[in-house]
Chain A
Amino acid sequence: MKKNIYQPIKARIEQVIPETSLIKTFVLKPESEFSFTTGQFVELSIPGVGEAPFTPSSDPAIKERIEVTIMKAGRITGLLHEMQVGDTLGLRGPYGKGYPLDKFKGKDILIVGGGVGLAPLRSLLFSLFSRIQDYKSVILRYGARTPNDIVYKEALPQWGTKDKVNALVTVDVGSPEWQGNVGLVTTVLADLGIDAPSVQAIVCGPPIMMKFVNLKLLDIGIKPENIYLSMEKSMSCGLGKCGHCRVGKYYACKDGPVFTYEQLKDIHDIWD
């Protein structure tokens, strides 16, 4: 019998890590090895209840487990947040095209994340860290609304101490205890000391943040073909069939979810 493209495999919840009041990371153990490349997405289902697309936040080199960082934002994500260790989810995928790591070799990599948008970028960072000798440098700029909204609070400070890695976290609104930078992530993108025309910039966050970061990146001389944007669309099937995630002549689920700005620049209203 031919493989049924809609059939999920079982993935058991092994651990639930609270990140913020609205964000949790779920450590899943799929019933069989599960491979993905960084930037690709999966469909997670609560059996018999609902299904939604997510991009794994874990290291793609690990095949036995995958981690997915989920913000409570709607019906399915709300229900996922109620799931417990030991519960079983459905897992389909991976789908789409991820980050083209080959193109990043020998270059300065600028990674700009906003809010829970750091999730797919964490997976990318793990991939970059594992072959850091291949890249000139990795610069991370991460913005969250408040210090409480920062994800991966424990890992973040360590990343910045790695060789060739420069990380900076900023918050839109500080707090009395916050000693870091305050300001939108767009304010920490100048004077990076990089060779802009060859920089590979990767952006993931809410659409409004991506819109202004993209403008800023173009402004500092980064080329449209070197800006990689993660497009959040309503992907239902993940297979290029259901029609929900069309972006111009592309489907986010097949041709994306990672697009270069060069691919998107002539399409109207991409940030809506």
Chain B
Amino acid sequence: METYFLNNEDIPKFYGAITEVYDLYVPVKIESSVAPACQSSFRLPTADYLLKNYALLDKKENAVFNDYRCVEPTRVFFTYFKEEVCSYFTDKAAQEQVDGRPKAICGVKNCDIFALRIQDYVFLNAGEEDPLYARRRQNTLVISGDCPSFKETCFCQAFDIPAYPAQGFDLNLSPLTHGYLLDVDSDKGRAIVKSLKDKLSPATFGQLSGRSAKRESVRMRLDEHLIQHKIPKKEALQDIVLSGYASPVWQEQMRTCVECGGCVFMCDTCHCFLLSEEHENGLNKKMRTWDGCLFKDFTRVAGGANPLKMRYMRLRNRYLKKFDFFISNLGFQACCGCGRCIEVCPGKIDIRYILRRLYEEKYLPAH
């Protein structure tokens, strides 16, 4: 990995070099006055970041560096909400689907990169690659960044996921006072850097230690913020969801669930989908649509039997999938601590609280 320094004033040129090859998506700040319900002593930010197509921005200066993850889960760039995965039994020539120019995504955070490991596991499974996902994953330029701040709902660090990426990106930006350190970790990233050579200087020792100090400061602040939530360590997760099968927490927490599916659709690690069929313009199509285990027919079979009849069973199922299934099969949990599910939930169902309850019921039964 190579690390360079990029001046603030050269950022437009950096974007320009990317747009030569890619459709660039950049974070745009959306102000919000909704104060987070939080007992933390920090003044936590309330603004959000949305990803927008850079070429379509009215004011290019609206493209900003995001201090924490964007609203959209990164997976929206790799599988779409509803799309055709194949057309078949037709006389018409098979049309190779075209996505247009490859995309570059700025504003990716380490939680998103962690979540992409789950998506990769599902969709790039050896011998059974999902062709659309594989092509998009291969062509997309991932430009990540350190988190110099965090939202109230951020809890990556509770699972030992640092608030800055160390791998899994093409390019990574670490903000310093007058510019950014730019890490380059792939040939796609190197191709961009090559066209910017005169704007980049190798990172100095001072800049590197400045970055380390900033990262350490965020780590300490986030740790302090997370103390109040008492989130169990990742090593305990599988154990507590299994032993908490009969816990009252599921019934209790599902009371406010309105089955909107927000938690599963905003989740960066959720991947479930439904294959369905459509007939259009003489073509038979298999469509892949995002699905979610919080919906009542998710596990229903012909004849009407449904193992997850009740909402509390579906809520519990979601945790078993994330913290039992994935830990058993992949070695780590399917939760990156991005907190999007907490933020989106109109029923105020909070994953941090549920995990804490499961832990306390197992280890502090007198509680």
Show the binding face of A for B, using Cβ within 8 Å: 1-2, 4-8, 10, 45-52, 73-77, 88, 90, 207, 232-234, 236-237, 239-246, 248-249, 268-269, 272
Please tell me if the beta carbons of A272 and B307 are within 8 angstroms of each other in the complex: yes
- Please measure, in the bound complex, the distance between the C-alpha atom of A52 and the C-alpha atom of B276, giving whole angstroms: 10
Check A49–B279 contact: CB distance below 8 A.
yes
Q: Is the CB–CB distance between A244 and B299 below 8 Å? A: yes
A246 adjacent to B131 (CB under 8 Å): no
Would A246 and B321 count as touching, CB distance under 8 A? yes
Instruction: Tell me whether B277 and A241 are in contact (CB under 8 A).
Output: no
Chain A CB within 10 Å — which of B128, B280, B324 has the most? B128
Contacts of A76 in B (CB 8 A): 302
| Interface of chain B residues 286 through 338 with chain A (CB within 8 A) | 286, 288, 291, 293, 298-305, 307, 309, 317, 320-321, 324-325, 328-329
Question: From B271, which residue of chain A is reached at the shortest CB distance?
Answer: A243
Q: Which residue from B131, B245, B272, B275 sits with its C-beta under 8 Å from A51?
A: B275
Q: Which residues of B contact A239 (CB under 8 A)?
A: 125, 128
* Residue of A with least CB distance to B123: A241
Decide if A237 touches B275 in the complex (CB within 8 Å): yes
Given known A76-B302, A272-B307, contact A48–B128 (CB-CB < 8 A): no
Bound CA–CA A249/B326 (angstroms): 8
- The answer to whether A51 touches B277 (Cβ under 8 A) is yes
What separation, in Å, do the CA atoms of A7 and B307 have in the docked complex?
A: 29
Q: List, in ascending order, chain B residues with CB within 8 A of A233's CB.
A: 299, 301, 307
B side interface size, CB within 8 A: 48
A234-B277 contact given A5-B129, A243-B321, CB 8 Å threshold: no
For B305, what are the chain A residues with a Cβ–Cβ distance below 8 Å?
207, 232, 272
Neighbouring A residues of B307 by C-beta, 8 Å: 233, 269, 272
CB-defined contacts of A73 to chain B, threshold 8 Å: 302-303
- Complex interface: stretch among B14-22, B33-41, B67-75, B84-92: B84-92
In the complex, the chain B residue whose C-beta lies closest to that of A70 is: B302
A-B contact pairs, 20 of them (CB 8 A): A2-B131, A45-B277, A46-B277, A47-B88, A47-B89, A47-B277, A47-B279, A48-B283, A51-B286, A233-B301, A236-B273, A237-B275, A240-B122, A240-B128, A241-B122, A242-B272, A242-B275, A243-B272, A268-B245, A272-B307
A10 and B299 alpha carbons, distance in the complex (Å) = 28
Q: Closest 7 interchain pairs by CB?
A: A48-B279, A243-B272, A74-B302, A249-B328, A48-B284, A47-B284, A73-B302
New A-B pairs, 9, CB < 8 Å, besides A242-B272, A242-B273: A4-B86, A10-B89, A48-B284, A48-B285, A51-B276, A51-B286, A90-B88, A243-B271, A272-B307
